[in-house]
Structure 1
């Protein structure tokens, strides 16, 4: 049962490279310097969404005024 549920989400998984992790950490540091305190996981998600040219959907207020973000409350 759990494996069936996990399989249903497999179409939403994306691959990423170690360079993406490095890029997301650089982006996280840049954002932190501008007063945006975001998690490592969110930094990776935001970085990958920008790389893929899609919006980053989040309810985290730290992203509310950033480009390429669909902020929801």
Structure 2
């Protein structure tokens, strides 16, 4: 039952939406810090794939460059 003080109940005054916003912010920060979540990185890998397909680089060179990009 509500206590009538206008705070909206539990969760230490945050309420459900406050907790939801906090969780969303944390998830967004974790997602942004995740390796390989970079548009430039994806473009670089795409370029490597194209160069391998065209025969411009060997498989060994591809593997070496791919490992370097993933660091």
Q: Same fold (TM over 0.5)?
A: no
Where is the strand percentage greater, Structure 1 or Structure 2? 1
Q: TM-score range by the shorter chain?
A: under 0.3
TM-score by length of 2: 0.25
Of structures 1 and 2, the larger Rg is shown by 2
TM-score by length of 1: 0.25
Where is the helix percentage greater, Structure 1 or Structure 2? 2
